[in-house]
Amino acid sequence: MIPLVVDTNILFSSLLGKSVAIRETLFSVPDLKPYSCKFAIVELFKHKDKLLKCSGLEEDELLELFYYLMTKVEFYNEDAISDASLEKAYALCKDIDVKDTVFVALTIELNGLLWTGDKQLAKGLKQKGFSQLYKKL
């Protein structure tokens, strides 16, 4: 089973009503186990109103989908990520977007793949030789 670390952008997109392909990947690909950072949960709650507006879903539908997401993605405590992984990730992210450090660190820690919807992050990481990027969509 390959650890698939998903960032907040992908989780956000998975909650949009028409994002079937993202949900199918997160929930249905047998060789992938989705992970994310607990920080992402806070980010999703912070943007709940925007999610409601953009998804076209009723609040109950969005909450049901959010609950299903919570049961399928393993949310990792950032404090459990080793200092070595955090340092490597920071070196990669510091001049791209520091807020993504925890997702890159978790990818390094789990020796998995990072799935990000942030094209600037993906491009910057590739330029620095980081090859642990998931390329589904």
* Structural domain that includes position 22: 2-127
- Other CB atoms within 10 Å distance of the CB of residue 78: 15
For residue 136, being part of any structural domain is answered with no
Q: What pTM did the predictor assign?
A: 0.91
In the prediction, which pLDDT does 25 show? 83
Q: What is the CATH number of the domain that holds 101?
A: 3.40.50.1010
In the prediction, which pLDDT does 55 show? 83
Q: What confidence tens digit (pLDDT) does each residue in 43-99 have?
A: 888 888 898 888 888 889 888 888 988 889 999 999 999 999 999 999 999 999 999
In the prediction, which pLDDT does 136 show? 66
For residue 133, being part of any structural domain is answered with no
93 vs 26: CA distance, rounded Å: 24
For residue 134, being part of any structural domain is answered with no
Q: Is the pLDDT of residue 20 over 90?
A: no
User: How many CA atoms, within 13 angstroms, populate the side-chain half-sphere of residue 56?
Assistant: 4
For residue 135, being part of any structural domain is answered with no
For residue 10, being part of any structural domain is answered with yes
Which strands form 2-6's sheet, in the order they lie side by side? 74-76, 32-37, 2-6, 113-115
For residue 137, being part of any structural domain is answered with no
98 vs 92: CA distance, rounded Å: 9
The total number of structural domains in the chain stands at 1
Contact residues for 17 (Cβ-Cβ < 8 A; gap 6+)? 55, 56, 57, 61
